[in-house]
Chain A
Amino acid sequence: MKRDADFKALAQFMGEWMRGEGPESDIAISTRIRLARNLADFPFIRRCSDEDRLSIERSVRARMESLTDPQFQAANYIDLEPLSELDRQLLVERQLISREIAESDGSRAVAFDPNEGYSVMINEEDHLRIQVMKSGLDIKSTWEQVNRLDNLLEEVILYAFHQQYGYLTACPTNVGSGLRVSVMLHLPALVITEQMDRVFRSMQKINVTVRGLYGEGSQYSGDFYQVSNQVTLGHSEAELLSLVADEVAPQIIAYERKARESLLNNNRDDLHDEVSRAMGILSTARKISSEETMHHLSKIRLGVSMGLVEHLDVKAINQMFLQSQAAHLQTLQGGVLGTAERHARRASFLQKQLTGKSDNSWN
């Protein structure tokens, strides 16, 4: 495993889940499955001493290094404790680590493959959080991969497991399978046509959580929603996967398609106008917040998917979503920036991406 990382190179790279490919990728950005696992011979994180955490980190790393599987041999292994806040934030934006582990204390680490198709967090809420990410709606192969990683790790790590309660986790909401399958969906047409409430209502009875991403409180920006299973105990992995893969995600995607179709048929001019205005703002603004950027990029992404925008593809938009976020922007520009300067450089970055040129002097 490689122990150091070039964060600037990382920020320039488009990882597996941002490829903008795979089934339904115009609406389904990515599929992610994570397994929560704990070592049998340590307390859960909350009751771990600093020495315990260090022992867990060292012992898991050594065991991963002992695995001859190429997926582990080629992995990057990053000790999160000594990292700067900016570098940790960059890993959060790339979804390789959670906000929780970024903001916690003590020994903790992440291992991920160079393609960013999987990551294993060590000393998050549970000792191990194994997750696999794929572009588009691709639950079957995502599961196959995460199950394989779990099997490999299980050969060298003795998990805390209970005959009745299954894999034991720090929070009882994860006990049993420890499995959370999440699909990130882009649902701008359902938002424009004010149907999200209906979607929330229809999901509530079937043990599925729908929540907005990238937003504060109820004001979600970018029209991204994450759909995931609620329960983990008493259902097999196959049942949980099928709930999201066969029932929920396809149903919401179908709603979104219908809403898009109705926008095209009934409000094509209005929609085209909104998309063009969004394009106008992002390609001419001189300073812009990340929230406003999300809002307009979402409209442009919708326009691209519906054939209203030329010269751009979903992958290019995904790249702008990622690289206009605070830590990416700062890493690519060479270091920590104040808010005003971030806004200016973000505007300049977007202008360059959308028009190929930039008015601002620093590019």
Chain B
Amino acid sequence: MKCQFCEKPATFHITELSEESGTQEMHLCEEHAKGFLNKQASSPVSAISSALADKLGQSAENLEELDQKECPVCGISFFEFRNSGRLGCPYDYTFFESDLRPLLINVHGNTEHTGKCPTRSTGTADSLAKMIGLRREMEEAIEREDYERASEIRDEIKALEDPFAAKSVKKEGQS
């Protein structure tokens, strides 16, 4: 593939991501990519926009392989994410973790949440993955009027919740 702006081969495949306009794909040679990224960094009104160019020199083949990767929970491919700028389910943050990291660093300059935490949560990433499947199963059980199974699944879902703050336990105790 050739660079969008010259005859040199495109070695940089950049997905621009902004809240307002979704995504835009760029295929650039090293020189034009540098220019583009520098301009991005100094562009004044640019919304949260960033480059999804892992280690910048990512080869076209690697990208192709990555594009095929699909989340086992929601089925979104990395290609679909790159094109839409939107992820398919909470588990994607775990499944595509190493691929998303460079993007998070680019956008936020950080990968570690330091703010507010909810009083209850799904705990581990695995339970987050199970949660969506279990809820679907429960709906199916209700559909076929298998209420016993539905109630079992409800308990399984409840067990996945992790009240990691004592506050919520106290709250429940009070009510």
Contacts and interface: CB of A to CB of B under 8 A. Distances in A.
Interface of A: 38, 40-47, 55, 125, 147, 150, 154-155, 158-168, 170-177, 179, 197, 200-201, 203-204, 209-211, 230-237, 240
Interface of B: 17-19, 42-48, 50, 73-76, 84-90, 92-94, 100, 103-104, 107-122, 125, 128, 131-132, 134-135, 139, 157, 161, 171
B171 to A, nearest CB: 8
Contact of B113 (A154, A160, A165, A203): A165
A158 B74 contact: no
A172 B107 contact: yes
A2 B111 CA distance: 41
Given A161-B118, A172-B104, A200 B44 contact: yes
Contacts of B128: 40, 160, 162
A-B pairs, 3 with minimum CB distance: A234-B110, A166-B113, A200-B44
B86 A161 contact: no
Nearest to B52: A172
A162 B109 CA distance: 18
Contacts of B18: 173
A289 B76 CA distance: 44
Interface of B is mostly: loop
Contacts of A233: 104, 107-108, 110-113
B111 A166 contact: no
Contacts of B100: 172
B131 to A, nearest CB: 5
B88 A211 contact: no
A203 B85 CA distance: 25
A43 B89 contact: yes
A234 B90 contact: no
B45 A209 contact: yes
B136 to A, nearest CB: 9
A46 B104 contact: no
A44 B89 CA distance: 5
A164 B111 contact: yes
Contacts of B44: 197, 200-201, 203-204, 210
Contacts of B104: 165, 172, 175, 233
B110 A235 contact: yes
Given A150-B116, A159-B118, 11 more contacts: A41-B131, A46-B86, A55-B139, A160-B90, A171-B86, A172-B103, A173-B19, A176-B108, A177-B113, A177-B115, A231-B108
